[in-house]
Structure 1
Amino acid sequence: MFTEERLEQILNILNKNGRVKVKELSELFNVSESMIRKDLQRLEAEGAIQRTYGGAILNRRFSESIPIDTRIKANLDTKELIAEKAFALIMDGDVVFLESSSINFFLAKLIANSTKQITLITNMSIIPPLFNNNETVKLLCIGGIYDNKSGGVLGSEVIKSISKYIFNKGFVGSAGVNLITNSAHTVTLEDGNVKELIISNSKEVFLLVEKEKFDVDSTYRFADLEEFSAIITDSDITNEIRYKLKKLSVKLI
C-alpha cells in the first residue's frame, strides 16, 4: 500500500471513530509503529489531526463566545437561506419558539414581514422590535437576565417561564455539531438549559446550523442529534455529512 492510500484510510478511520491508536494502526496496515508515527506527524503538520499519547484525534475547532451583533453579520447568504427553509415549515395557527441564535433573527424577520397568523415566543431580545408593524403575530417575550453574547435572556426565571408552554415547532441553533458523538453543542450551561427545555416542550424541533458547524465542538452538549425532527442546513453540504446523518435516521432539510 502506498503512503498516500494509508493516510487516506487513517483519516477515514478517524472520521468514523474520532480517534486512532498507533499500535492498532500498525497491526491493521502491517507496518511498523515508527512508520505509523511518521504518518501521524505528517497529518498533524497538514492540520488534519492532533497527536495524542499513543495515537491521534481529529483536529476539530473549538467554538468561541462571539457577541450576537457580530454573528448576525457573518455568512449572511447562508443564514438567510437556512431561515427561508425554516420559514416554509411554519403554518397558520402554530405556536413557535425562537431561541437566541443568529439564524433565528433572520427567521424572525421573515415572519415579521409575512401575514402568517401564529403565536411566537422568544427569549431573544432583538426580535420584538421587528414586529412593531406586524398585526398577525401574537408575540410573547420571555424575561430574564440578559446575556450580551447569546443575545437572549437566560437563567432560572427563563426556565420557569418556558416550562409553562408547549410549542408546535421549536427552532434552535448550535455552536457546533459533532457527527462522531452525534451531538449538538453550545458555549454555556445556561444557554444549553434553555435549548434542552425547548426540545423537551416542542412537538417538532429543528436544528438550524451552517455546514461549517459540523467541524466545530463547544463546551456544553445539549442534545443528541436523534432528538431533532430535522436538521436545516446549507444545500451544498458534503456527501460524507449526508451519509452520516442518513445512518442516524436524521432528516435533512
Structure 2
Amino acid sequence: MFAEERLDEIIKILNSEGKLKVKDLSIKFNVTEDCIRKDLKTLENQSLLKRTYGGAVQVRESAEDIDVLIRKDADITTKTIIAQKAFNLINHRETIFLDISTTNIILAKLLASSNKQITIVTNMLDIVNVLSKPNNIRVICTGGILNRNLDGFTGAPTIEIISKYKFDKSFIGSCGIDVFDESITTFDIDDGITKRAILESSKKSYVVMEDSKFHMDGNYKFACLSDIDCIITEKAPKEEVESILSDFNIEVF
C-alpha cells in the first residue's frame, strides 16, 4: 500500500471510529509505530486530525457562546424543521418541559397556534411571552435566578422547582454532542446542571439541535448519551454517528 493510500484509509477509520491508536494502526497496516506517527503528523499538518498521546482524534469545532437574542434570529429555516418534528411528537394532555433553546421558541409558537391542550413548564422568558395569550396551554414558569445572556432561569432555585415535577416529555437544547466520547455539552455551568435536573425529571427526553452540532462542543458536559432517549435534528446524521446512537437505543427524528 502506498503512503497516500494509507493516509486515506487512516482518515476513513477516524471518521468511522472517532479516534485512532498508533499501536492498532501499526498492526493493521503492517508498518512500524514510528511510520504511523509520521502519518498522523502529516495529517495533523493538513488539519485533518489532532494528535493525542498514543493516537489521534477528530478535529472538532468549539461552538461560539453567543447571546440568545442574537442566536434566535439565526438558522430559522433549520430550526423550524426541527421544531415541527418536535411539535408532531407532542400529544394532548401531556405535561412537557421546554428548556432554554432558540428552537424551542419556534416550537412554542407552533403550540400556541395549535389546539393541543397541554401543560408547558419552562425556564425561558421568551417562551413564556409566546405562550402568554393562548387559552389551550397552561403555562408554568420555574422562576429562579435570571441569566440575562440566556434569557432564562438557571441554578439551585430553578432546579428545586423542576425536581417537583415528572414531565411526560422534555425538549432540551445543546451546544454539541460528541458521539465518540458520549458527551452532551453546553457553555454555562448553571445552565448545564439545570438541564441535568430536567433530564432526571423527564419520562422521555429529546435533544433539539442542528445536525452541525454533532461536530461542535461546548465546554461543560451536562449529560452522556445514555441519559437521553431521542435527538431531533433537521436531517439524518452521518452513518457512523447514527450507528453509535443506535447502540445507545437513541431514536433520531
Q: TM-score, normalised by structure 1?
A: 0.92
Aligned partners of 2:168 and 2:202 also within 8 Å:
yes
SS of structure 1 residue aligned to 2:174: coil
Aligned to 1:141: 141
Q: 1:140: how far off?
A: 0.7
- 1:56/1:104 CA distance change after superposition, 3 Å: same
Cα deviations by residue, 1:21-45 (Å, 9 ceiling, x for unpaired): 4454334322244432332233223
CA distance in 2, matches of 1:245, 1:8: 25
Query: Aligned AA for 1:29?
Result: F
The answer to whether structure 1 residue 9 and structure 2 residue 37 are counterparts is no
Which stretch of structure 1 is more off in the superposition, 45-54 or 176-185? 45-54
Structural RMSD (CA): 1.9
Aligned to 1:26: 26
- 1:97/1:68 CA distance change after superposition, 3 Å: same
Which stretch of structure 1 is more off in the superposition, 151-160 or 93-102? 151-160
Query: Aligned AA for 1:182?
Result: E
Which stretch of structure 1 is more off in the superposition, 148-157 or 30-39? 30-39
CA distance in 2, matches of 1:64, 1:191: 15
Q: 1:90: how far off?
A: 0.8
Instruction: Within 5 Å, give how 1:114-129 maps onto structure 2.
Output: 114-129=114-129
Aligned to 1:104: 104
Cα deviations by residue, 1:74-124 (Å, 9 ceiling, x for unpaired): 221111101000000111101110010111111111111112111111000
SS of structure 2 residue aligned to 1:78: helix
CA distance in 2, matches of 1:246, 1:2: 35
Query: Aligned AA for 2:59?
Result: N
SS of structure 1 residue aligned to 2:82: helix
Aligned partners of 2:178 and 2:215 also within 8 Å:
yes
Aligned to 2:188: 188
Aligned partners of 1:95 and 1:118 also within 8 Å:
yes
Query: Aligned AA for 2:235?
Result: S
Query: Aligned AA for 1:222?
Result: F
Aligned partners of 2:174 and 2:186 also within 8 Å:
yes
SS of structure 2 residue aligned to 1:127: helix
Q: 1:168: how far off?
A: 0.9
CA distance in 2, matches of 1:148, 1:4: 51
Aligned partners of 1:108 and 1:130 also within 8 Å:
yes
SS of structure 2 residue aligned to 1:223: strand
Aligned to 1:94: 94
- 1:53/1:229 CA distance change after superposition, 3 Å: closer
Question: What is the aligned residue count?
Answer: 253
The alignment-based identity, stated in percent, is: 41
- 1:87/1:200 CA distance change after superposition, 3 Å: same
Query: Aligned AA for 1:226?
Result: S
Aligned to 2:169: 169
- 1:237/1:19 CA distance change after superposition, 3 Å: closer
- 1:89/1:144 CA distance change after superposition, 3 Å: same
CA distance in 2, matches of 1:9, 1:68: 41
Aligned to 1:78: 78
SS of structure 1 residue aligned to 2:134: coil
Which stretch of structure 1 is more off in the superposition, 56-65 or 27-36? 27-36
SS of structure 2 residue aligned to 1:202: coil
Q: 1:194: how far off?
A: 1.1
Q: TM-score, normalised by structure 2?
A: 0.92
Aligned partners of 2:105 and 2:130 also within 8 Å:
no
Q: 1:17: how far off?
A: 4.9
CA distance in 1, matches of 2:35, 2:95: 59
